[in-house]
Structure 1
Amino acid sequence: MSAFTLAAAQSVSIPGDLQANIGRHLAFMRQAAERGVEFLLFPELSLTGYEKALAAGLAITPDAPVLAPLRELARELKLVTVVGMPIRLGAEEPVLIGALTFGADGSLQVYSKQHLHDGEEIAFTPGNGGEPLTMADERIALAVCADFSHASHPLRAAQSEANLYAASVLITGNGYAPDTALLQGYAREHAMAVLMANHGGMTGGWQSAGRSALWAAGGQQVVAAEGEGDVLVIGRRVAGQWSGEVVSVMGL
């Protein structure tokens, strides 16, 4: 198994301000690349914040030109980057919670959240998921928040031979212990690493817990942020062994 460096981008989103959030994402990407990160995962709806009331007005197609700077920088840095955005697959299509992957080769891959939380149906329609990502020796299955609360979702990821389950989330303080117990349990049960990228602050009226984390296959926690704020939670695997660090993102 080759060396691999990944990170959760625990970011604070500016409500509804796509351009400002794109700028913040670009800063995260540059600072991640400086530390050798090859795969970078942002939280659920990271480009807009978890703003249900604004989602219909903000939703765009995955290939919208406004996202080109993210796609181009991912290619330039050779940094596979997953961002969260309300999307429509066509002008008259329903709004989905999207996780868009910008590849190191300039490609775009779309994942849409399959399982909605209670109350999300007022703004969103369940999506169809998406195929795992492939990066050299890595096979990465994506999840968006409530997806992982359904045991069948990580099970399908394991059956697809994913060695990393990457979850973009919004988890509050009250939900943190039970939700992370589930994620750690999947790492143990399915023998795949689990990366969780949580919001770094208040979003959509919810106070996020932060504390983004990585668990190794088998369930051992590798690294976690201590709390909220704009940080990179970085994991490095060398010769099958994981190490981690948390780095503050500067200049936002």
Structure 2
Amino acid sequence: MKSSDVTFALVQCPAVKGRIDLNLQNHLKYVALAAANGADIVIFPELSLTGYEPELASDLALDTSADADPVIPLSEAAQTQGVIVVSGGPLQSDGTRPYIGALISYPSGITELYRKQHLHPGESEYFIAGNESYVISYKGQQIALAICADFCNPDHSAEAKAAGADAYLCSVLISENGFAPDSQLLQSRARENVFPVLMTNYSGETGGWKSCGKSRVWSSDGEVIIASEGSENSMVLCTLSNGKVSGKILDI
């Protein structure tokens, strides 16, 4: 049984197409707000620093070396605010296509990377898939990361559970048409693996897709515990304590 509480901020926000500079400034603002409200881990939607813009991804692919933007300002924010920040962007690779990835910025100043392992149909034209899972270890909790289509593959969450994950943290882009089947899958992942599933989605439109928002948390038995019911800008704050989840919604 885990004894330490971990509070998550699921940031449901829009993105400005291709404008890493503007999106970064919004990220820093939301990180400060999350920290002021007691968050330990702040997570943004899939490709949050650029928007979900596959056709632009190669040109926008992030240099993830320690002295590059946006690595530095995100790392500084994590250190200043004392939180872990999980932001999304296309990550440079050794090939012609980037990864869909996440930057994990720690209060220690370390930045690590996760690369999406499972791609939706059509994404492989613009991206390549990663091959390693990622788990955040914090306050005695093990939190497995997933990016959108990762959760569609039951092996991804099952492997996370087998590795000792206490929760499954997903950054996504889900439209209104996709919400019903995707939410059923996320609910199933919670029940199958007996761990909470947390999902953060965009607000507004990106890449020609109109996001439905509805960021939420399912308990280990598949019940919705806390949810943003619409597509407005908001922050779902939730605390994981001994496998139980509680929370509230902030407008942002």
Letter in 2 for 1:9: V
- Matching of residue 61 in structure 1 with residue 63 in structure 2: yes
Q: 2:111 aligned to 108, 116, 123, which one?
A: 108
Q: Paired residue for 1:198?
A: 201
1:23 is the counterpart of 2:20: no
Could you tell me which residue of structure 2 aligns to residue 46 of structure 1? Answer: 48
Where in structure 2 are the equivalents of 1:201-212 lying within 5 Å? 201-212=204-215
User: Are 1:167 and 2:177 matched, yes or no?
Assistant: no
Residue type of the alignment partner of 2:54: K
Residue 32 (1) aligns with residue 60 (2): no
| Contact kept? 1:169, 1:196, Cα under 8 Å | yes
CA displacement at 1:93 relative to structure 2? 5.7
- Amino acid corresponding to residue 221 of structure 2 in structure 1: G
* Residue correspondences, number: 248
- Please state how far the C-alpha of 1:99 moved relative to its aligned partner: 1.0
Distance in 2 between residues matched to 1:121 and 1:26, nearest whole Å: 30
Deviations 1:213-236 (A, max 9, x none): 011222221111011122111112
CA distance in 2, matches of 1:233, 1:62: 28
Amino acid at match of 2:104: T
User: What is the distance in 1 between the residues matched to 2:146 and 2:168?
Assistant: 7
Q: Is the 8 A contact 1:222 1:235 kept in 2?
A: no
Give the letter aligned to residue 90 of structure 2.
P
Q: CA deviation at 1:130?
A: 3.1
Structure 2 match to 1:6: 8
Q: SS state of the match for residue 69, structure 2?
A: helix
Corresponding residue SS for 1:65: coil
The whole-number CA distance in structure 1 between the counterparts of 2:118 and 2:190 is 20
In the other structure, the counterpart of 1:86 is: 90
Matching residue of 2:80: 76
Paired AA for residue 54 in structure 1:
L
The SS at the match of 1:73 is: helix
Matched residue type, 1:45: L
In structure 2, do the counterparts of structure 1 residues 239 and 167 end up closer, same or farther at CA, with 3 Å as the change threshold? closer
For 1:161 and 1:34, the matched residues in 2 are separated by: 30
State the distance in 2 between where 1:13 and 1:129 align: 27
Question: Matches of 2:132 and 2:172 in 1, distance apart?
Answer: 15
What CA deviation, in whole Å up to 9, does each residue of 1:184-231 have, x standing for no partner?
A: 111112111111011111000000110000112222211110111221
Query: Gaps spanning 5+ residues in structure 2: where?
Result: none
- Residue deviations 1:76-120 (CA, integer Å, cap 9, x gap): 111111100001145x56311011100121111111011111111
SS of residue matched to 2:57 = helix
Secondary structure, counterpart of 2:28 in structure 1: helix
- What does residue range 142-221 of structure 1 map to in structure 2 within 5 Å? 142-221=145-224
Contact 2:6/2:139, CA 8 A, preserved across alignment? no
2:248 aligned partner: 245
Task: Write the distance in 1 (CA, Å) between the matches of 2:218 and 2:231.
Answer: 19
* 1:240 positional shift: 5.2
Determine the C-alpha separation between the residues in 1 that align with 2:64 and 2:214: 28
- 1: distance between equivalents of 2:138 and 2:147? 20
CA RMSD of aligned residues (A): 1.4
Counterpart position of 2:231: 228
- Equivalent residues of 2:195, 2:243 under 8 A apart: no
Q: Note if contact 1:7-1:233 (Cα within 8 Å) is conserved in structure 2.
A: yes
